[in-house]
Amino acid sequence: MTILPRLPHLVLLIPCYNEEPILHNTAIILMQLLQNLVEKQKIAENSFLLFINDGSSDRSWQVIQQLHTENSFIKGLNLAANAGQQNALMAGLMKICDRADIFISIDADLQDDIAAIEEMIDKFREGFDIVYGVRRSREVDSFFKRQTASAFYKLMAALGAKTIYNHADFRLMSQRAVKQLGLYGERNLFLRGIVPLLGYPSATVYYDRNGRSGGNSKYSFHRMLNFAIDGITSFSIRPLRVIASLGILFLLCSLIAIGYTLHSWFHGETVAGWASLMISIWFLGSLILIAIGITGEYIGKIYLEVKHRPRYHIEEFLD
């Protein structure tokens, strides 16, 4: 184990979207954690919290401002509009990437076990640049969420995208990893797909996930589905290849069908079946539609990327 010459400077990044009811409590718990870690000589004294307000429509930002005036180790970044959790995290990381050695992102609802943070820092000090927080089980999730989540990770793996099973956005990154992450200019951000691409030494810590400390989940089924589709189409072009393979397969099938048709014609059995025609039209029609749909998904993505819109707008930084 290599011991650093000085203690690492830590920032905890907490994206917040309409988290007013729990923010105060979250800040107290996380400040206490920082103090403990400072006392244990795990991190440098001037480590701090960064709350990123992702365009909340409640009073989250006012609460963050209040927390900042009471405690200078609590900093805040206010995005002008809701940019989504991934972009909010990116905004925070890019804003302060020069100011610390390690960056840990954690949800405001503290569903992720904060005890894992100390383990993450230990791993960093052993020389890992990236430490993934991975859920040991999904007992607190509904049956539906468990099944859909597991199907998603399996599909991602089958499509060749590197994702860490049961890892969300609870992770530690070193400064150099964050700086490399900044080089990824894509708009459809899916951090848990990008971070493994960085290739730096990485480790995993396991933890149990709790229920929300208050408030409601910001991911409805619709939003989760969109997030999963984004994750897949941002990281894999295999669905496009499947269309091409299907095309070849159907070409072969149609050759057989043509042979059969000609054979029937020569034998004078040419009262062509209306039913078979209808079936082919409908079946092929639907396949074509699916193919166009998938292609459209990628074209849509190209459209969004080439615009090179800024990913977020910062309204205020409380330093």
Work out what residue 108 binds among Mg ion, ligand UDP, none; the CB cut-off runs from 5 to 8 Å by kind: ligand UDP
Q: How far is the CB of 196 from Mg ion (least distance, A)?
A: 22
130 binds ligand UDP (CB under 6 A): no
Contact 134, 167 (CB under 8 A): yes
Instruction: Kindly state the tokens that stand for 119.
Output: 């383990």
Closest CA relative to residue 53, chosen from 43, 45, 63, 61: 61
How would you label 250-285 residue by residue, b for 16+ Cβ within 10 Å and e otherwise?
A: eeeeeeeeeeeeeeeeeeeeeeeeeeeeeeeeeeee
Considering only 7, 10, 13, 17, the residue that binds ligand UDP (CB under 6 A) is: 17
CA distance 135 to 21: 25
Q: How far is the CB of 30 from Mg ion (least distance, A)?
A: 15
State which of positions 43-102 bind ligand UDP (CB under 6 A): 54, 82, 84-85, 88
The DSSP call for residue 195 is G
With CB under 6 A as the contact rule, which of the stretches 9-17, 176-184, 226-234, 264-272 interacts with ligand UDP?
9-17
Interacting residues with Mg ion (CB under 5 A) = 107, 109, 111
Q: How far is the CB of 167 from Mg ion (least distance, A)?
A: 14
CA distance 225 to 203: 28
Q: How far is the CB of 113 from Mg ion (least distance, A)?
A: 13
Query: 3-state DSSP call for residue 115?
Result: helix
Q: How far is the CB of 149 from ligand UDP (least distance, A)?
A: 10
H helix count then E strand count, the chain? 10, 8
Binding mask 202-221 for ligand UDP (x = CB under 6 A): ---------------xxx--
> Is the CA virtual torsion 39, 40, 41, 44 positive or negative?
negative
Using alpha carbons only, give the angle 156, 94, 310 rounded to the nearest 5 degrees: 75
Work out what residue 180 binds among Mg ion, ligand UDP, none; the CB cut-off runs from 5 to 8 Å by kind: none
Closest CB to Mg ion among 26 and 111? 111
Residues of the shown chain interacting with ligand UDP in the complex, contacts defined by CB under 6 A: 15-17, 19, 54, 82, 84-85, 88, 107-109, 111, 217-219
